[in-house]
Amino acid sequence: MNRFLWLIGLPLYLISFLPVRALYALSDFIMLFYPLIRYRKQVVRVNFRNSFPEKTPAEIDRLMRKFYRNMLDVTFEILKMFSSRPDWADTMITMENTETFRRYALKGRSIIVVLGHLGNWELAGTRINNLGYHQVYAIYHPLTNKLINRWFKNMRERQGMMLYSMQEAVSGMVRNRHKLIATGFIADQVPLSPRDYATTFLNQPTLVFRGPAVLSRKLNQPLFYLHISRPRRGHYVMRPELLCDDPARHDVSELTEMHLRKLEANIRQQPEIWLWTHRRWKRRPKWQGLMKDVEKNKPVSSQ
């Protein structure tokens, strides 16, 4: 298997050196065969239909086409990150409202940034890290294939990010709570514990992972949501929005609702840039117990 992956991986790595316009041309070429693309189309269609019951079948079809075009573009952008310098993210992303990050850095406070699989979420961490205010730590779910996992881990570290695996996140954040860090949570994945927060999201009963809320409250680190939009091909606008300056004064459900509603509104503004191939409403119990011990403790000051 690994020999086969190397046979595919080496040509893809060489392709990553192409200019981004050439990569978008490859994306356009693949979209010529859109009717033949079968990758999770039924999952995408069901997700769109359940999330936007007011839309007609024709409107759903148009959204699906726009989504697959965006997904291909993002795939090639992520491929580009395997060979690009970290400052490439600065040319791709306009970051608004950066003064708020600077203000907390000057106070010596670490922060938690919640985002979704919107736009190019991989570039987001690099762009924030490039600001120079906080060292970004991204929380990632290790991939099953160890070789592919190593490739992606090396790519993210090459882009300037530090990493916590899902299993290391709690201990790592507590250990590093006196350092100046921005911890990034992609909080739209499927939670796998019966203790996770139940609510309605995109018109559907949904379980939401409570990790960002639990840890922001425990460490009393300001909680942000990162709003992402794609005004044109090859360019993103990202805007950090402060949700709570003093999470220790709020309960976990309040904090979870804060970032979840921001995510929901962000998706509704530009639905085609979210990752609809994700089986968001299918639950697979794996992370049970991850937050149990943390939630028993009182918040710990990061000052």
Contacts of 302 (CB under 8 A, 6+ apart): 109, 110, 177, 178, 219, 220, 221
Q: What is the mean pLDDT of residues 199-225?
A: 93
Q: For the chain, how many structural domains are there in total?
A: 1
Say how far apart CA 280 and CA 90 lie, in whole Å.
Answer: 30
Question: pLDDT digit string (tens) for 210-219?
Answer: 999 999 999 9
Q: Is the pLDDT of residue 15 over 60?
A: yes
pLDDT of 104 above 60: yes
Distance of alpha carbon 10 from alpha carbon 94, whole angstroms = 31
At 194 the pLDDT is 61
Asked if the structure places residue 9 within a domain, the reply is no
Distance (Å, whole) CA 222 – CA 219: 9
Q: What percent of the chain has pLDDT over 70?
A: 91
In the chain, % of residues over pLDDT 90: 75
- What is the helix (H) or strand (E) element at residue 291, kind and residue range? none
Is 250 contained in some domain?
yes
Selection from 249, 240, 167, 172 nearest residue 213 by Cα = 249
On whether residue 68 sits in a domain, the answer given is no
Split at pLDDT 50, 70, 90, the class of 295 is: very low
Q: Does 82 fall in a domain?
A: no
**Rounded CA Rg of the chain:** 19
Q: Is residue 13 part of a domain?
A: no
pLDDT score for 180 = 96
| Range 247-264 average pLDDT | 96
Identify whether 130 is part of a domain.
Answer: yes
pLDDT of residue 277: 96
Of 243, 241, 237, 246, nearest to 226 (Cα)? Answer: 241
For the residues 250-260, what does the mean pLDDT come to? Answer: 96
Please indicate, yes or no, whether the overall pTM of this predicted structure exceeds 0.85: yes
Judged by DSSP in three states, 221 sits in coil
The reported pLDDT for the residue numbered 92 is: 98
Q: Which two tokens stand for residue 134?
A: 């906080």
The confidence score (pLDDT) of residue 285 equals 31
**Are the CB atoms for 83 and 17 separated by under 8 Å?**
yes
Q: What is the pLDDT of residues 140-170, one digit of tens each?
A: 888 888 888 899 999 999 999 999 988 888 8
Considering the chain, what is the average pLDDT of its residues? Answer: 90
Q: What is the mean pLDDT of residues 224-251?
A: 97
Q: With cut-offs at 50, 70 and 90, classify the pLDDT of residue 69.
A: very high
Structural domain boundaries, residue 243: 87-296
Q: What dihedral angle (degrees, nearest 10) is formed by the CA atoms of 218, 223, 229, 234?
A: -70
Model confidence pLDDT, tens digit, residues 36-64: 999 999 999 999 999 999 999 999 999 99
User: According to the model, what pLDDT value does residue 300 have?
Assistant: 44
Residue 99 structure tokens: 């003064």
Helix 211-219 × helix 252-269 angle, to 10°: 130
In a domain, 38, yes or no: no
Note the pLDDT of residue 121: 96
Domain assignment of residue 154, yes or no = yes
294 — pLDDT class (breaks 50, 70, 90): very low
Answer whether 294's CB lies under 8 Å from 170's CB.
yes
